[in-house]
Amino acid sequence: MIILDGKKTSDNIKDEIAIAVAKRKEAGLKTPHLAAIIVGTDGASMTYVNSKVKSCQKVGFNSTLIDLPEDTTEEQLLHEIEELNNDKDIDGFIVQLPLPKQIDEQKVLMAVDPDKDVDGFHPVNVGKMTLDLPSFLPATPYGILELLERYEVETSGKKVVVIGRSHIVGRPLSILLSQKRKVGNATVTLAHSRTRDLASITREADIVVAALGIAEFLTGDMVKDGATIIDVGITRVKDDSKKRGYRLAGDVDFESVSKKASFITPVPGGVGPMTIAMLLKNTLQACENRD
Ligand SMILES: Nc1nc(=O)c2c([nH]1)NC[C@@H]1CN(c3ccc(C(=O)N[C@@H](CCC(=O)O)C(=O)O)cc3)C=[N+]21
């Protein structure tokens, strides 16, 4: 059993990005600048946004964090987005999800300039991705492709089962893995909450991606021997023995699944860090696109 080490791989990618940024600076080119808008102070969201800012520092990007109160109106948020769209120094930005209920998420995502949409959530980028055109790939699916590539996990002709049809992970990943691309050419099944007899489907899979958001959902009896397992889940589970008062649980029951898997991502240290690395990669790309 081989651990797909997302922490180590993301560090390698960040090193590569840092070198590219240093070269840009030597050549007198612009320093990439990533901004993030966060509305409210949800604990988990704060953690991710803070680690994005830290990662920017690490690779030599400039970063801006726009922290808006929980009661921000949709109109105010759209105004902030417009400012970032028009700011010549900002190469890319993200609006951290989820948003408070008074704000229409779709409306917000559509307000982001597609050329600065380093999350790849704008319909223009989703459309381009779907049509195999160059676009910003959403960071989590992109990170999973990168991890599979760097560990040389074969996807071509393989049976992949993605569990979860979210717009930011399951749906785009199922599209990407089915495409004619280096990490792709798979036969993809997209399973979801209405899927019947899921275990009989996952047991046939060479690769299972658990992205449904239920802690320790996928168990050893649901996978075949030698399967590759990608765990996208990250749930805070109350645990008083930990100093933070919680532990992080994936969507995979690591204990039972790792006994059967040939490759498996851990939580933490798997897909999460890859997501951040690929967001940086998209931001570097956005910056290069404007040279
Ligand atoms: N517009 C937008 N874009 C996103 O990409 C986005 C978002 N909204 N909303 C929330 C989700 C979640 N997400 C994570 C990023 C990194 C880790 C990560 O690095 N996790 C560490 C552990 C971090 C911890 O200690 O909590 C790990 O898995 O090792 C996790 C989750 C990005 N998201």
- Tell me how far apart the alpha carbons of residues 128 and 57 are, in angstroms, rounded to a whole number: 30
Give the DSSP letter of residue 249.
E
pTM greater than 0.95 (yes/no): yes
- CA 129 to centroid of ligand 1, rounded, Å: 22
Clarify whether residues 144 and 268 are in a common domain: yes
Q: Could you tell me where the beta strands, DSSP code E, fall in the chain?
A: 2-3, 33-39, 62-68, 92-95, 159-163, 187-191, 207-210, 228-231, 235-238, 246-249, 263-264
3-state class of 210 per DSSP?
Answer: strand
- Tell me how far apart the alpha carbons of residues 155 and 161 are, in angstroms, rounded to a whole number: 12
Give the mean model confidence (pLDDT) for residues 28-56: 92
CATH of the domain at 217: 3.40.50.720
What residues does ligand 1 touch, defined as CB less than 6 Å away? 47-48, 51, 94-97, 119, 139, 234, 248, 267-269, 272-273, 275-276
What residues make up the domain containing 57?
A: 27-113
Clarify whether residues 178 and 54 are in a common domain: no
Give the DSSP letter of residue 5.
-
Length of the chain in terms of residues written: 291
With 90 as the cut, is the pLDDT of residue 45 above it? no
- CA 251 to centroid of ligand 1, rounded, Å: 14
Pocket test for ligand 1, best of 13, 275, 282 (most atoms within 8 A of CB): 275
Asked if residue 124 is part of any domain, the answer here is no
- Per-residue pLDDT of 134-148, as tens digits, reads 999 999 999 999 999
With 90 as the cut, is the pLDDT of residue 161 above it? yes
Cβ(278)–Cβ(139) under 8 Å? Answer: yes
With 80 as the cut, is the pLDDT of residue 3 above it? yes
What are the binding residues for NADP(+)?
164-166, 234
User: Which pLDDT belongs to residue 47?
Assistant: 86
User: Which pLDDT belongs to residue 197?
Assistant: 98
The strand pairing partners of 238, in sequence order, are: 246
Clarify whether residues 248 and 163 are in a common domain: yes
Clarify whether residues 83 and 165 are in a common domain: no
Task: Provide the pLDDT confidence category of residue 41 given band limits of 50, 70 and 90.
Answer: confident
- Tell me how far apart the alpha carbons of residues 204 and 225 are, in angstroms, rounded to a whole number: 10
Helix, strand, coil percentages for the chain (3-state, nearest 5): 40, 20, 40
- Per-residue pLDDT of 225-253, as tens digits, reads 999 999 999 999 999 999 999 999 999 99
Give the mean model confidence (pLDDT) for residues 39-59: 90
Which residue in the block uniquely carries the two structure tokens 């969201």?
Answer: 45
Helices 139-150 & 271-289 angle (0-180, nearest 10): 110
The DSSP result for 17-76, as a single string, is HHHHHHHHHHTTPPPPEEEEEEES--HHHHHHHHHHHHHHHHHT-EEEEEEE-TT--HHH
Clarify whether residues 44 and 109 are in a common domain: yes
CATH of the domain at 106: 3.40.50.10860
The closest alpha carbon to 231, from 138, 147, 118, belongs to 147
Asked if residue 81 is part of any domain, the answer here is yes
Q: Report the mean per-residue pLDDT for the chain.
A: 97
Clarify whether residues 107 and 187 are in a common domain: no
User: Which pLDDT belongs to residue 42?
Assistant: 79
Determine what percent of the chain is predicted with pLDDT higher than 70.
100
3-state class of 204 per DSSP?
Answer: coil
- Give me the active site residues, please: 52, 96, 119
User: Which pLDDT belongs to residue 29?
Assistant: 98
Give the mean model confidence (pLDDT) for residues 159-172: 98
Closest ligand 1 atom number to CA of residue 138: 5
- Tell me how far apart the alpha carbons of residues 25 and 60 are, in angstroms, rounded to a whole number: 10
Asked if residue 146 is part of any domain, the answer here is yes
With 90 as the cut, is the pLDDT of residue 43 above it? no
- Tell me how far apart the alpha carbons of residues 38 and 97 are, in angstroms, rounded to a whole number: 8
Asked if residue 288 is part of any domain, the answer here is no
- Per-residue pLDDT of 89-117, as tens digits, reads 999 999 999 999 999 999 999 999 999 99
- CA 38 to centroid of ligand 1, rounded, Å: 13
- CA 43 to centroid of ligand 1, rounded, Å: 11
Give the DSSP letter of residue 262.
S
Structure tokens at 96: 């951290």
Clarify whether residues 247 and 176 are in a common domain: yes
Number of domains in the chain: 2
User: Which pLDDT belongs to residue 44?
Assistant: 80
3-state class of 226 per DSSP?
Answer: coil
